[in-house]
Amino acid sequence: MLCYGVGPGTQVGSYEVLAFLGNGGMGEVYKVRHIISQRIEAIKLLLTSSDRSVEVADRFLREIRVLANLCHPNIAGLHTAFHHENQLIMVMEFVDGMNLGERLARGMKLQDSLEYTRQALSALEYAHSREVIHRDIKPSNIMIDNAGRAKLLDFGLARVTSPGARLTSSRSLLGSVHYISPEQIRGETMDARSDLYALGVTLYELLTGCLPIQGDSLSAIIRGHLETEPQSPSSLNHGISRSLSEVVLHALKKNPDDRFQSATEFLAALGTVRLESGADLEMTLDRTLDVSEWHTPKHDSAEPASHTSDHGALKYDKAVLEDISLQLANYVGPIAKVIVKRASGSSSSLRELCDKVAQEIDSENYRKSFLTSVRKHLRASGEF
């Protein structure tokens, strides 16, 4: 975090750094203000300390060139790019808001889930029409600004294809394992329909609060994408209609030929669902989706904050688990609730639970930040 001596108050080229926003596999992102125009923007600085620095640099440059040819209200736009002290820097539109994973962790209405999905599909429809495949669609790569507009981010894994061409996956798995398509896993040719699968996973998650494919290991999740048919979303959330559930499952077909063939088709299907569902769907639109209802143990209000059950497993206060899930979601996305639930059933103390879920965070610095954020609960339980 905060490489190259960059931090609030420092200057990078013609930009004053205001705040650190986050990082990923390729670069660090900062909120900045252009010194002359005073416009608030975001810059991404390329990380060069990786052993794969040449590959990362090529990917970073490709992202710049891809974004330079995209202009859509639901895609965070590129403003410019330049070199500063031998560092390649991308200047982007600053999106003031939170990513879709963070938004879900705070509770989401059904109408918002559908609207954000439609906007993401509109962005994909546009990108695909220009032969751009994103290849890393997931909640953390979809920002929701303060006006409620979805913005697709991070085209670092994107590829531009010639008309009619399909990409062949590399031996390494690209993107996030919970959202990658079966054809990506098998190393087969892939096209825009892989993005639609990933967005189908995302929509499933928005509607139910959980992922369609789960597992205790990387291999189990990969096997699930290839072999397991997801549970119907309507069986997990009775507030959604069967027809909407069928649309989501159609997007998650294992064979790309059985899925929606384009973002346009996916959009049309969602539009049909809204008309078909009528009053039934309209009645559910004002219902806030509380994912904690499905992922945290139920407690009687008279019960203490935590206690040992008859089976010896420690139970925890619902509000504590919700806050730990919320803090963890900042680093791993909405899968946080599933991780915390699993850890709560196998931990003998709150400290052990926190240590277990922290291991799901790749960055050591971020693990420390997470543990700092949940320290108050350890103090309250007498474990700190």
Using CB atoms within 10 A of its CB, is residue 211 exposed (0-12), middle (13-18) or buried (19+)? Answer: buried
What strand order describes the sheet that includes 87-93?
Answer: 11-12, 15-23, 27-34, 40-46, 87-93, 78-84
User: Angle at the Cα of 339 (from 118 to 344), degrees rounded to 5?
Assistant: 140
Q: And the tokens for 281? A: 């769907």
Beta bridge partners of 22: 29
Listing DSSP states for 263-274 in one string gives HHHHHHHHHHHH
Report residue 70 as tokens: 């995209």
Catalytic residue among 51, 58, 136, 195: 136
- At residue 174's C-alpha, the angle toward residues 325 and 113, to 5°, is 45
Beta-carbon contacts of residue 199 (< 8 Å; ≥ 6 apart): 117, 120, 121, 124, 137, 251, 266
Quote the CA–CA distance of 78 and 58 in Å, as a whole number.
17
Q: At what angle do helices 364-373 and 350-358 cross, to 10 degrees?
A: 150
Q: What is the Cα–Cα distance from 329 to 335, expressed in whole angstroms?
A: 7
Residue 162's nearest CA partner among 141, 184, 185, 191 is: 191
Annotated active-site residue 136? The verdict is yes
Name the residues annotated as catalytic: 136
